[in-house]
């Protein structure tokens, strides 16, 4: 006899963890699989900064800032001990970038203040530019947040190699469920997800012991956290790569530390630990949430999709994806998990901005040309 669940989630990073927590809150019986353990990959290596996106009001900025507002309330209500609301300073990269900040200011939808370079220098931050300070922002303890969200949920360290259905039910070993959620990050080989364009970005982060009295976090190309319990985080690199740990040449933190040293006094920093992992993103940088299209079935039944036809989409029944959160996983995950849970439990349509359906027809047309 198999052990039965409402939903099996494959992947225990921040996507899988928030999905599992949110579904459990809606009385779903959930099982989580991960081949290496909780937050072992990109989520564990994340700086886990939770802050708004600045810019000129693009659709991605609007979605990010909507997700930010949801995320900071989520962490403050669920696990406030692991969310450090220190505020985040956004510093222009150079003179050209500084000139753009006056344009960006029109689109700052979240609470913010302008800080002069004199104010920042008084805080121990070196810059010649006026910057934005977002007091509601901060950073998470990445591993601790994922562990907290999954503490009441059954988790198995197990590598799922294939998906099977028996009598309309998904079966993984001795376990079965009505639904499966693929929160597998850059390793997405359990279904035909080619149309989603999932790609890996290799990232590294360093945690340093320091007595520096740094009260706020900051971002200027890279991020430096406030000092929390004697630890300052520097992260994270963003290197596009198909394979992990081949681009850093054994010195993943060298460039990060050099950049941080231009921002704050790093003279007493002592490296405590290095974290490395692969994040997953999408072609258009928006998350990927919702049903999985049955690609072989679409190509077999509707070959004209290769020439621009747009028939009704066919899906793999009760198979869902939760992926493509990129470098803002801890910002996007709580809201995306809420939308996915509403879709699975209440059959509410997934927000079109993040539905993976948006990418299929363009991919199909390109497939013909390839």
For 15-47, the pLDDT digits (tens) are 999 999 999 999 999 999 999 999 988 888 888
* Higher per-residue pLDDT: 157 or 204: 157
Residue 360 resides in a domain: yes
213, 246, 276 - which closes a domain = 276
Residue 318 maps to which CATH number?
A: 3.50.50.60
- The pLDDT, as a whole number, for residue 46 is 87
Are residue 194 and residue 211 in the same domain, yes or no?
no
Residue 303, pLDDT above cutoff 90: yes
Are residue 299 and residue 363 in the same domain, yes or no?
yes
276, 297, 329 - which closes a domain = 276
With contact defined as beta carbons under 8 Å apart, do 8 and 172 qualify?
yes
Long-range contacts of 21-29 (CB under 8 A, 24+ apart): 21/78, 21/149, 21/150, 21/153, 21/337, 22/334, 22/337, 22/338, 22/340, 22/341, 23/341, 23/344, 23/345, 24/152, 24/153, 25/341, 26/341, 26/345, 28/344, 28/345, 29/4, 29/5
Residue 104 resides in a domain: no
Mean pLDDT of 348-368: 94
Beta bridge partners of 172: 175
Residue 105 resides in a domain: no
- The pLDDT, as a whole number, for residue 276 is 85
Give the pair of three-digit tokens for residue 114. Answer: 């302008």
pLDDT tens-place string over residues 205-216? 999 999 999 999
- The pLDDT, as a whole number, for residue 238 is 64
With contact defined as beta carbons under 8 Å apart, do 107 and 8 qualify?
no
- The pLDDT, as a whole number, for residue 143 is 95
Give the span between the Cα atoms of 116 and 123, in whole angstroms.
11
Are residue 207 and residue 193 in the same domain, yes or no?
no
Name the band, by pLDDT with cuts 50, 70 and 90, for residue 108: very high
Are residue 193 and residue 206 in the same domain, yes or no?
no
Mean pLDDT of 1-24: 94
With contact defined as beta carbons under 8 Å apart, do 344 and 7 qualify?
yes
Residue 244, pLDDT above cutoff 60: no
Beta bridge partners of 179: 7
Give the span between the Cα atoms of 92 and 95, in whole angstroms.
7
Report how far apart, in Å, the C-alpha atoms of 28 and of each of 175, 330, 365 are: 15, 23, 39
Beta bridge partners of 182: 10, 321
pLDDT tens-place string over residues 152-170? 999 999 999 999 999 999 9
Give the pair of three-digit tokens for residue 169. Answer: 């039910």
Sign of the CA dihedral with 198 first, then 139, 353, and 344 last: positive
Are residue 187 and residue 323 in the same domain, yes or no?
yes
Query: Which among 223, 204, 212, 205 has a CA at the least distance from the CA of 89?
Result: 223
Beta bridge partners of 49: 139
DSSP string, 89-114: EE--SSHHHHHHHHHHGGG--S--EE
Give the span between the Cα atoms of 185 and 180, in whole angstroms.
15
Of the chain, the percentage scoring pLDDT greater than 90 comes to 84
Are residue 299 and residue 332 in the same domain, yes or no?
yes
Residue 67 resides in a domain: no
Residue 343 resides in a domain: yes
Are residue 223 and residue 301 in the same domain, yes or no?
no
With contact defined as beta carbons under 8 Å apart, do 160 and 168 qualify?
no
Q: How many domains does the chain have?
A: 2
- The pLDDT, as a whole number, for residue 292 is 98
Residue 102 resides in a domain: no
Are residue 338 and residue 301 in the same domain, yes or no?
yes
**149-163, 227-241, 258-272, 344-358, range with the lowest pLDDT:** 227-241
Name the band, by pLDDT with cuts 50, 70 and 90, for residue 278: confident
pLDDT tens-place string over residues 329-351? 999 999 999 999 999 999 999 99
Name the band, by pLDDT with cuts 50, 70 and 90, for residue 367: confident
252, 276, 300 - which closes a domain = 276
Give the pair of three-digit tokens for residue 64. Answer: 């990010």
Q: Which domain holds residue 215?
A: 201-276
Are residue 155 and residue 230 in the same domain, yes or no?
no
Residue 128 resides in a domain: no
Q: What is the pTM (predicted TM-score) of this model?
A: 0.94
Residue 119 resides in a domain: no
Of the chain, the percentage scoring pLDDT greater than 70 comes to 95
Are residue 353 and residue 305 in the same domain, yes or no?
yes
- The pLDDT, as a whole number, for residue 236 is 73
Are residue 176 and residue 33 in the same domain, yes or no?
yes
Are residue 265 and residue 301 in the same domain, yes or no?
no
């Amino acid at each position: 006899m198999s052990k039965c669940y409402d939903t099996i989630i494959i992947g225990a990073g921040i996507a899988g963890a928030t999905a599992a927590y949110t579904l459990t809150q809606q009385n779903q019986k959930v099982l989580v699989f991960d081949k290496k353990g909780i937050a072992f990959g990109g989520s564990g290596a994340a700086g886990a900064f939770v802050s708004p996106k600045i810019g000129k009001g693009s659709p991605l900025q609007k979605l990010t800032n909507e997700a930010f507002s949801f995320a900071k309330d989520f962490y403050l209500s669920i696990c406030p001990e692991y969310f450090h609301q220190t505020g985040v300073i956004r510093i222009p990269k150079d003179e050209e970038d500084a000139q753009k900040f006056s344009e960006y200011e029109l689109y700052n939808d979240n609470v913010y203040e302008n800080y002069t370079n004199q104010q920042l220098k008084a805080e121990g931050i070196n810059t010649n530019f006026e910057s934005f300070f977002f007091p509601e922002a901060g950073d998470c303890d990445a591993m601790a947040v994922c562990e907290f969200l999954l503490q009441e949920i059954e988790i198995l360290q197990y590598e799922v190699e294939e998906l099977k259905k028996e009598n309309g039910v998904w079966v993984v070993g001795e376990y079965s469920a009505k639904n499966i959620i693929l929160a597998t990050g850059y390793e997405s080989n359990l279904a035909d997800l080619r149309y989603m364009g999932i790609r890996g970005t290799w990232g590294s982060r360093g945690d340093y012991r320091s007595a520096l009295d740094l009260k706020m976090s900051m971002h200027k190309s890279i991020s430096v956290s406030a000092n929390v319990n004697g630890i300052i985080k520097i992260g994270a690199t963003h290197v596009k790569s198909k394979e992990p740990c081949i681009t850093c040449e054994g010195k993943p933190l060298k460039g990060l530390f050099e950049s941080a040293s231009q921002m704050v006094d790093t003279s007493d920093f002592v490296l405590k630990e290095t974290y490395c992992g692969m994040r997953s993103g999408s072609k258009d940088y928006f998350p990927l949430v919702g049903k999985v299209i049955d690609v072989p079935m679409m190509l077999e039944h509707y070959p004209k999709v290769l020439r621009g036809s747009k028939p009704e989409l066919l899906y793999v029944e009760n198979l869902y994806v939760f992926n493509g959160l990129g470098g803002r996983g801890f910002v996007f995950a709580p809201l995306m998990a809420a939308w996915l849970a509403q879709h699975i439990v209440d059959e509410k349509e997934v927000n079109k901005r993040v539905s993976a359906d948006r990418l299929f027809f363009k991919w199909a047309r390109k497939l013909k040309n390839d």
